[in-house]
Amino acid sequence: MITDLGYGALAITFFLTIYGVLAAIWGVRTRRPDWIDSARNAMLLTFPLLTLSCLSLIYLLVNGHYEVEYVASVTSTRMPLYLRITALWGGQAGSLLFWSWLMSAFASAVTLRNWQRDREFLPWVVVVSLVTLGFFLGLTLFVENPFDRLWLLPGGLAIKSFFAPEGAIPYFQSDGKGLNPLLRHPGMIIHPPMLYLGFVSFVIPFAFAIAALITNRTDDRWIQITRRWSLVAWLFLSLGLILGGRWAYDVLGWGGYWGWDPVEIAAFMPWLTGTAFLHSVMIQEKRGMLKHWNMILIILTYNLVIFGTFLTRSGVLSSVHAFAQSAIGPLFFIYIGASFVISLSLLLQRWQDLKSDLHMTSLLSREALFLLNNLLFLGILVICFWGVIFPLISEIITGQKVTVGPPFYERATAPLFAGLLLLMGIAPLAAWRHSTVQTLGKAVWKPTVVSLFVPLIGFLGGIRNWAALLGFWLAAFVACVTLYEYGRAVIARSRSRGESLPTAFWNLAGRNRRRYGGYIIHLGVVLMAIGIIGIELFQKETQGTLAQGEELSLGPYTMRFESLAVFDTADGRNVARAVVSIYKNGRFVGELYPRRDYYYESQQPMTIPGLRSTMEDDFYVLLVDWQPISSAGATFKVYQNPLVNWLWLGGFVFIIGTLVATWPESEKSPATVRARRRTPLAAKAS
């Protein structure tokens, strides 16, 4: 009954998307607003219907309906309740349904806005949103159906199908395989939803961009409408990437946070174009320029969102993040190709209409530096895209799949990331329209002088790695510029309004949240850069097999193997757990408990590192192999990861800054506006 309910709601929603698309187009062609309103209502209905479908699947997961193939593949009786619920996105079919549900939530939310001023956008926003939703629903309904039941054929073969095959009887299992152990980490409970939210949120700005092209609205109204949607999408995507890095650090057992895995890159690519888009739209709003560029960026972002989902779901690439091989790969490829061609065709039709009368007059102006910033982002995108698709091209042409490893990405992207850091420090000091070497130099020399003390201190402290010294200087430079700019504005406001410095600091951010939220984001990037430089350039590792009581040294640390226990748990795991004592510079600092969990139900292992964390470094211990304690002992792999926790701290500051930039600004009263006109210094500061 519940299975039929979930499947029925899914099927109705799919046909509702088709109706909504046709009704919106018909309403435009016949100039019938009632048809457009009907399409809008259809889009609004998708959310409650898919909510019903998702709740039906969650009910099946929680209550152990193992006659449903998806339930049997991702849950078991030993799994706790919260993992049975999150199993909704733990497998391919469920994750597609979950993606569709989130898409319907955003599509329904956008229908609730006041369309009076932008009525001509409405039908085309409905069309683009429902076409995207309909594509994913079609995949879920006809290819990867989470409500498929298990059936036993007369020959004894078990197959999955929603409807009963001829001669088959229902196949009931007493238990399921359980969720992949790698997905049982707390980070994976919220990491996929954050990424999915980022993906689906970017569909809304794309829908408005296409609506602007179709209706020939060449102003920046579509950007104004979608500004907060874009920031929310970027927030969720950023949070998803950060959580994914932490999950990799805690679970994958290789001592790092980012392995340039193809699926990691698939989520990173739309973040690159989305970040470039958020910077670029400011130029269109300020100067009415780069209209073509912004359209290209949002089209790229949308298609990279679909491409990223395609890479994860199709199984065409080997990855710890990817699902199994699936028939949905070709369908994704066709959809991406069609949407890209149609979008570019619309852009080319409106190319002349989107031209601006204004031109860049200075290579050092803020808009020129923003454009250079975007080109660097696109350069990183090209490197990532080529690295991801090259193995596929190689396999098609030569029959051999070539692996593109981290060294390629690191060597190719490092100079571009350094350039982005440099521009992050220079651009806020440049003026709009026109800036010269003299004016920019006058603004930048103070932060530059202060920032040079950081690499000098590092050199005197024994650092001889020139890349690290350059990286630390760039991070210090950005921090000095950001704090300098914020400090000047706070002091100016404090003097002009008689506010205390903390009050001025708080009110300043409240008056221009987008600008000062951006400054906080920059500070978060600085902290993340420090962590990345530390672990990438100064990480140390060693490996050894120890008998009980033997020691292993790495840098200032010494690790002594104390004991090993191997036991079964009530939830179906075989656990090998070591106890090691850690000494730093000869002083005891604590015990760690690295272990290896083997899940009987899924027949998969999971490595849990022992971790001692400080802001200085992490001491990271992995239990690689073991023998009975009376024999050869245990093999450990040990890492010292300097400054890595600055990366997680920076991610937290980064998210805080994004929340500040996204938070709605309060309306300014007429009295406040008059007061600001009388105090130009304060107006400049805020």
Could you tell me which of 209, 230, 229 has the C-alpha nearest to residue 220?
Answer: 209
Q: Virtual CA dihedral for 302, 305, 309, 312, nearest 10 degrees?
A: 150
The mean per-residue pLDDT over the stretch 436-460 comes to 90
Q: How far is CA 379 from CA 14, 269, 352, 369, 413, in A?
A: 39, 11, 26, 15, 8
The mean per-residue pLDDT over the stretch 19-40 comes to 95
The mean per-residue pLDDT over the stretch 452-472 comes to 94
The predicted pLDDT at position 682 comes to 40
Which DSSP letter does residue 544 get? Answer: E
Does residue 325 carry a pLDDT above 60?
Answer: no
Domain positions in the chain are 1-179, 538-645
The predicted pLDDT at position 599 comes to 87
> Mean pLDDT in the chain?
88
pLDDT band at 487 (very low <50, low <70, confident <90, very high): confident
Q: Which long-range contacts (CB under 8 A, 24 or more apart) does 491-495 make?
A: 492/681, 492/682, 492/684, 492/685, 493/682, 493/685, 493/686, 495/681
The predicted pLDDT at position 451 comes to 95
Q: Edge-to-edge, what's the strand order for the sheet holding 610-613?
A: 540-546, 634-642, 617-626, 610-613
Does residue 673 carry a pLDDT above 80?
Answer: no
pTM across the whole model: 0.90
Does residue 674 carry a pLDDT above 80?
Answer: no
The mean per-residue pLDDT over the stretch 663-671 comes to 53
The predicted pLDDT at position 628 comes to 67
Q: Tell me which of 658 and 325 has the higher pLDDT.
A: 658
Q: What is the pLDDT of residues 90-127, one digit of tens each?
A: 888 999 999 999 999 999 999 998 888 889 999 999 99
Q: What is the pLDDT of residues 521-563, one digit of tens each?
A: 999 999 999 999 999 999 999 999 999 899 999 999 999 999 9
Could you tell me which of 77, 55, 54 has the C-alpha nearest to residue 173?
Answer: 77
Lowest mean pLDDT among 72-86, 442-456, 489-503, 621-635: 621-635
Q: What is the pLDDT of residues 277-323, one digit of tens each?
A: 999 998 888 888 889 999 999 999 999 999 988 877 655 554 444 44
The crossing angle, in degrees rounded to 10, of helices 221-251 and 186-201 is: 160
Environment class of 193 (CB within 10 Å of its CB; exposed 0-12, middle 13-18, buried 19+): buried
Could you tell me which of 107, 544, 514 has the C-alpha nearest to residue 286?
Answer: 514
The predicted pLDDT at position 285 comes to 84
The predicted pLDDT at position 670 comes to 41
Q: Tell me which of 363 and 541 has the higher pLDDT.
A: 541
CA atoms within 13 A on the CB side of 2: 16
The predicted pLDDT at position 312 comes to 73
Query: Where in 525-681 does DSSP place strands (E)?
Result: 540-546, 551-554, 557-568, 573-584, 587-592, 595-599, 604-608, 610-613, 617-626, 634-642
Q: Tell me which of 199 and 179 has the higher pLDDT.
A: 199
Q: What is the pLDDT of residues 505-517, one digit of tens each?
A: 778 777 778 888 8
Q: Tell me which of 116 and 377 has the higher pLDDT.
A: 377
The crossing angle, in degrees rounded to 10, of helices 437-451 and 453-460 is: 30
The predicted pLDDT at position 398 comes to 82
Q: How far is CA 153 from CA 157, 161, 293, in A?
A: 5, 12, 57
